[in-house]
């Protein structure tokens, strides 16, 4: 049974929310990270074939994770800049 099948079963029968699954998403945070990293070394098309998930689903996940990472990087850069200015 594929991870997608397991995720669908969990979504269908589980009413409990989990910290490892954000909002109404059907994948764990770690699985979404794995899909993102998979696409960094190849293409979204190849990743969707390899994981046997729809291209559009993987594309959405990839760009959501990329946006989250970009925002986190911006926050870290602002923090560093602020503290470098305060240390002078």
pLDDT tens digits, 31-44: 999 999 999 989 99
User: Does the pLDDT value for residue 48 go beyond 80?
Assistant: yes
Parent domain of 42: 3-87
- In the chain, the number of structural domains is 1
Whether this prediction's pTM lies above 0.85 is answered by no
Q: What's the rounded Cα separation, in Å, for the pair 19 and 28?
A: 9
| Pick from 34, 12, 11, 35: nearest CA to 21 | 11
Q: What's the rounded Cα separation, in Å, for the pair 6 and 16?
A: 16
Question: How many residues are there in the chain?
Answer: 88
Residues 66, 69, 74, 80: is their CA dihedral positive or negative? negative
């Amino acid at each position: 049974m594929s991870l997608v099948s397991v995720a669908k079963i969990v979504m269908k029968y589980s009413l409990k929310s989990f910290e490892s699954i954000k909002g109404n998403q059907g994948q764990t945070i770690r699985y979404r990270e794995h899909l993102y990293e998979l696409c960094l070394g190849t293409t979204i098309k190849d990743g969707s074939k390899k994981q046997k998930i729809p291209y559009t689903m993987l594309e959405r996940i990839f760009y959501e994770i990329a946006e989250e990472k970009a925002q986190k990087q911006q926050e870290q850069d602002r923090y560093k800049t602020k503290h470098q200015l305060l240390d002078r």
